[in-house]
């Protein structure tokens, strides 16, 4: 019988890789809390209509990429392809929008039926960060300086920040008409994909990755040159704030993002390190989205970070994630020690907060247990046999220093762990 394998593009994240993910997630949570953001956890499955009305029916995501099905009641449901629409729906439904300036974030899996490739999967993970109810450019500035701080926390040299303004829907409507006229006059030069988009979503032509299309796109009209005084003033206020904060950026007049709900400011952090999947963070303002899905009109802005791409970027950068290793590996020696190992471990966990302790109560030789202790990455091996049980102590062996083992009372273990946490962790010796 053939073994069952994971679905193509939906990958296992194995224990050897999870540590890097947890390190990134831990630092993200710390950063978001320091800026006053609170976590929200919307469901993975939503009504399909939510994404049709928010992302746009004539988009690749809705037309070709969503995992959509009818449930037993005949309702059309979809696995979420992104999280902003879900957060907006939750904010409307729960009354969060009654208090302007809500700062929320969510993290978890998204689903799109795309061709799997490095940095782009059918199940992928995102951090979504949103500010609801603030119309001022200060919201954009806050999200950008916060994301820059994240790169620094993670030890990544700043990716390149690109910004643009798409104006409001009135500006976009006029600009879309101008684009259609321009590209229609050059239709013979369009590839099949751009020719299709010309009649459905002409702004997406500007996002084409086909090298042959770039000269034509570069010569196209620029929306940033067609902003009205209000939109231009908003964009210039953002530029002034970024300048004061020392944030380097470049205006990319071809930056449009791939979702119909964006209005006003859009931005991306990009890098050359990941090949074709250059964007590691992207977002923008979506002031009409909440009204589009049935709420009272409310300004909003947010960004999303692809965690798979961020993990890959850290690996390429040579940044070692901060992964907590076990403090100790407790090995029960002999029948009495193995029988009492979990009881002693529980006493230690009660006495020492956040103790990271692995227990080995299997029947095996001391040599085998010490090999397993070394492989665990623990700083100390705690040995528990009949003598230690009698004396209310543990024999402690430092696995990272070539020092004699010693006997330490259970009460004295707390001081040992505290001292180890306070000192730099020595490298594992060669064995």
pLDDT(22) > 60: yes
Mean pLDDT, residues 77-81: 97
Q: Is 367 exposed, middle or buried (0-12, 13-18, 19+ CB in 10 A)?
A: exposed
Q: What is the pLDDT of residues 149-185, one digit of tens each?
A: 999 999 888 689 999 999 999 999 999 899 899 999 9
Cα–Cα nearest to 113, from 41, 196, 7? 7
Q: What is the pLDDT of residue 196?
A: 84
Pairing of strands 357-360, 328-332: parallel
What's the whole-number mean pLDDT along residues 334-345?
96
Q: What pLDDT is attached to residue 426?
A: 57
**Strand 68-70's sheet: what is its strand order?**
45-47, 76-79, 68-70
Taking the CB of residue 90, how many other CB atoms lie within 10 A of it? Answer: 18
The per-residue pLDDT of the chain, averaged, comes to: 91
Residues 6+ apart with CB under 8 A from 191: 208, 210, 212, 213
CA distances from 316 to 79, 308, 429 (A): 31, 12, 26
The mean pLDDT value for 210-215 works out to 89
Cα distances (angstroms) measured from residue 114 to each of 67, 96, 110, 264: 10, 34, 12, 28
Flag the least confident range among 123-132, 135-144, 151-160. Answer: 151-160
So where are the chain's domains?
15-167+227-317, 328-422
300-306 and 123-132: which strand pairing? antiparallel
Tokens, residue 327: 């403090």
CATH class of 328-422: alpha beta
Q: Answer whether 15-167+227-317 and 328-422 agree in fold.
A: no
Is residue 431's pLDDT more than 50? no
106 exposed, middle or buried (CB, 10 Å; 0-12, 13-18, 19+)?
buried
Burial 15-52 (b: 16+ CB within 10 A, else e): eeeeebbebbeebbeebbeeeebeebebeeebebebbb
For every residue of 125-151, DSSP letters joined together read EEEEEEEES--STHHHHHHHHHHHHHH
Q: Is the pLDDT confidence value at 35 over 90?
A: yes
Residue 327 to residue 329: CA distance in whole angstroms: 7
Going 227 to 233 to 236 to 241, the CA torsion angle's sign is negative
Q: What is the pLDDT of residues 277-287, one digit of tens each?
A: 688 999 999 99
pLDDT bucket at 321, cuts 50 / 70 / 90: confident
Give residue 276's pLDDT.
Answer: 62
% pLDDT > 90, the chain: 72
CATH code for the domain defined by 15-167+227-317: 3.30.930.10
Strand partners, 406: 396
pLDDT in tens, 348-392: 999 999 999 999 999 999 999 999 999 999 999 999 999 999 999
pLDDT at 63: 82
Give the DSSP per-residue string, 36-92.
T-EE----SEEEHHHHHHHT-SSSHIIIII--EEE-TTS-EEEE-S-SHHHHHHHHH
Give the number of other CB atoms < 10 A from CB of residue 386: 13
Distance CA(191)–CA(213), nearest Å, equals 8
Pick from 247-256, 257-266, 357-366: least confident = 257-266
Closest Cα to residue 119, out of 271, 254, 322, 330?
A: 271
């Amino acid at each position: 019988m053939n073994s069952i394998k994971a679905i193509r593009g939906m990958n296992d994240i194995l224990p050897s890789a999870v540590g890097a993910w947890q390190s990134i997630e831990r630092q993200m949570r710390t950063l978001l809390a320091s800026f006053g953001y609170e976590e929200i956890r919307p469901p993975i499955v939503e009504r399909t209509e939510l994404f049709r009305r928010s992302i746009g029916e004539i988009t690749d995501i809705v037309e070709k990429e969503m995992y959509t099905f009818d449930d037993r009641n005949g309702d059309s449901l979809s696995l979420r392809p992104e999280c902003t629409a879900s957060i907006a729906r939750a904010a409307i439904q729960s009354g969060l929008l009654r208090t302007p300036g809500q700062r929320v974030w969510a993290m978890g899996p998204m689903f799109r039926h795309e061709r799997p490739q490095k940095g782009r999967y059918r199940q992928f993970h995102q951090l979504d960060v949103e500010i609801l109810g603030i119309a001022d450019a200060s919201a954009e500035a806050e999200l950008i300086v916060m994301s820059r701080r994240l790169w620094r926390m993670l030890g990544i040299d700043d990716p390149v920040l690109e910004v643009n303004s798409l104006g409001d829907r009135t500006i976009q409507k006029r600009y879309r008409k101008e684009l259609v006229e321009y590209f229609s006059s050059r239709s013979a030069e369009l590839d099949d994909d751009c020719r299709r988009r010309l009649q459905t979503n002409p702004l997406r032509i500007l996002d084409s990755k086909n090298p042959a299309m770039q000269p034509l796109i570069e010569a196209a009209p620029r929306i940033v040159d067609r902003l009205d005084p209000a939109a231009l003033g908003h964009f210039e206020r953002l530029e002034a704030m970024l300048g004061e904060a020392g944030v380097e950026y470049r205006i990319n007049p071809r930056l449009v993002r791939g979702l119909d709900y964006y209005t006003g400011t859009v931005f991306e952090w990009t890098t050359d390190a990941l090949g074709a999947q250059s964007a590691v963070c992207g977002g923008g303002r979506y002031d009409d989205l909440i009204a589009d899905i049935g709420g009272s009109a409310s300004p909003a802005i947010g960004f999303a970070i692809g965690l798979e791409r961020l993990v890959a970027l850290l690996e390429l950068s040579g940044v070692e994630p901060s992964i907590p290793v076990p403090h100790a590996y407790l090995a029960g020696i002999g029948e009495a020690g193995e029988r009492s190992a979990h009881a002693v471990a529980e006493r230690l966990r009660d006495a020492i907060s956040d103790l990271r302790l692995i227990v080995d109560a299997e029947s095996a030789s001391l040599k085998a247990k010490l090999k397993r202790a070394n492989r665990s990455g623990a700083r100390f091996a705690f040995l528990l046999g009949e003598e230690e049980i009698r004396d209310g102590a543990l024999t402690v062996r430092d696995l990272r220093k070539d020092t004699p083992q010693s006997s330490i009372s259970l009460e004295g273990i707390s001081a040992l762990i505290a001292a180890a946490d306070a000192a730099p962790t020595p490298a594992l010796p060669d064995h």
